[in-house]
Amino acid sequence: MARLPVTEESLIEQYGPHLNHEPAGGWAAGGEPDRLVKTHCCFCGVQCGIQLKVKENQVVGFEPWEEFPVNRGMLCPKGVKRYLQDGHPDRLLSPLIRTETGFREATWEQSIDAVADNIRRIQGKYGRDSFALLSGASLTNEKAYLMGKLARVALKTKNIDYNGRLCMVSAGAASRKAFGVDRAANPWSDLPLAKCIIIAGSNLGECFPILTDYVWRARDNGAKIIVIDPRATPVGRTADLLLPVKPGRDSALMNGILNVCIQRGWIDRAFIEQSTNGFEELRKTVASYTPERTAEISGVPAAAIERAAELWGTAPTGMLIHARGIEHHTKGVENCLTCINLCLATGKIGKPGSGYAMITGQGNGQGGREHGQRCNQLPSGRDIENPEHRRVVAERWGVPEPELPGVGLASTEMMEAIHKGEIKGLLLICFNPLISLPDTDYTRAALEKLEFFGVIDFFMSETARHADVVLPGSLQEEDEGTVTTAEGRVVHIAQAVTPPGKAREDWKIICDIARKFAPWEQFPYSCPEDIFRELRHVSRGGPIDYYGITYDRIDREHGVFWPCPDLEHPGTPRLYEGGKFFHPDGKARFHPVEYRPPAEDVDVEYPVILTSGRVVSQYLSGTQTRRIGPLVDQYPEPLVEIHPKLAAKVGVRTGDRVTVTSRRGAVTLGCQVVKTIRPDTIFIPYHWAGDKSANKLTIRALDPVSKIPEYKVCAVRLEKAV
Interface contacts to ligand SF4, rule CB under 6 A:
41, 43-44, 46-48, 71, 75-76, 78-79, 208-210
**In terms of CB distance, is 79 or 365 closer to ligand SF4?**
79
**In terms of CB distance, is 44 or 511 closer to ligand SF4?**
44
**In terms of CB distance, is 41 or 426 closer to ligand SF4?**
41
**In terms of CB distance, is 71 or 338 closer to ligand SF4?**
71
**In terms of CB distance, is 71 or 440 closer to ligand SF4?**
71
**In terms of CB distance, is 47 or 695 closer to ligand SF4?**
47
- Give the CA distances from residue 514 to residues 147, 151, 325, 371, 509, in Å, rounded to whole numbers and listed in that order: 9, 9, 38, 17, 9
* SS3 of 269-327: HHHHHHHEECHHHHHHHHCCCCHHHHHHHHCCCHHHHHHHHHHHHHCCCCEEEECHHHH
**In terms of CB distance, is 82 or 177 closer to ligand SF4?**
82
For residues 267 and 586, give the distance between their C-alpha atoms in angstroms, rounded to a whole number.
Answer: 20
CB of residue 228 vs ligand SF4: minimum separation in angstroms?
21
CB of residue 5 vs ligand SF4: minimum separation in angstroms?
8
Tell me how many helices (H) and strands (E) the chain has.
24, 28
CB of residue 208 vs ligand SF4: minimum separation in angstroms?
5
Q: Which residues pair with 611 in a beta bridge?
A: 683
* SS3 of 644-686: HHHHHHHCCCCCCEEEEECCCCEEEEEEEECCCECCCEEEEEC
For residues 281 and 449, give the distance between their C-alpha atoms in angstroms, rounded to a whole number.
Answer: 49
**In terms of CB distance, is 133 or 359 closer to ligand SF4?**
359
Q: What is the CA radius of gyration of the chain?
A: 24
Determine how many CB atoms are found less than 10 A away from the CB of residue 681.
23
CB of residue 191 vs ligand SF4: minimum separation in angstroms?
14
For residues 58 and 135, give the distance between their C-alpha atoms in angstroms, rounded to a whole number.
Answer: 27
Which position's Cβ is nearest ligand SF4?
Answer: 79
CB of residue 43 vs ligand SF4: minimum separation in angstroms?
4
- Phi-psi category of residue 73: left, alpha or beta, with phi > 0 → left and psi -120 to 50 → alpha: left
Enumerate residues 6+ apart whose C-beta is below 8 A from 288.
Answer: none
CB of residue 22 vs ligand SF4: minimum separation in angstroms?
16
The answer to whether the beta carbons of residues 267 and 313 sit under 8 Å apart is yes
CA torsion, ordered 376, 378, 384, 387, to nearest 10 deg:
170
CB of residue 494 vs ligand SF4: minimum separation in angstroms?
15
CB of residue 358 vs ligand SF4: minimum separation in angstroms?
15
CB of residue 356 vs ligand SF4: minimum separation in angstroms?
20
CB of residue 714 vs ligand SF4: minimum separation in angstroms?
27
**In terms of CB distance, is 37 or 428 closer to ligand SF4?**
37
DSSP state of 429: E
Cα 602 from chain centre: 28
Q: Using CA of residue 564, residue 538, residue 517, residue 423, what is the dihedral sign?
A: positive
The answer to whether the beta carbons of residues 685 and 424 sit under 8 Å apart is no
For residues 373 and 164, give the distance between their C-alpha atoms in angstroms, rounded to a whole number.
Answer: 10
The answer to whether the beta carbons of residues 132 and 159 sit under 8 Å apart is yes
The answer to whether the beta carbons of residues 16 and 9 sit under 8 Å apart is no
CB of residue 681 vs ligand SF4: minimum separation in angstroms?
26
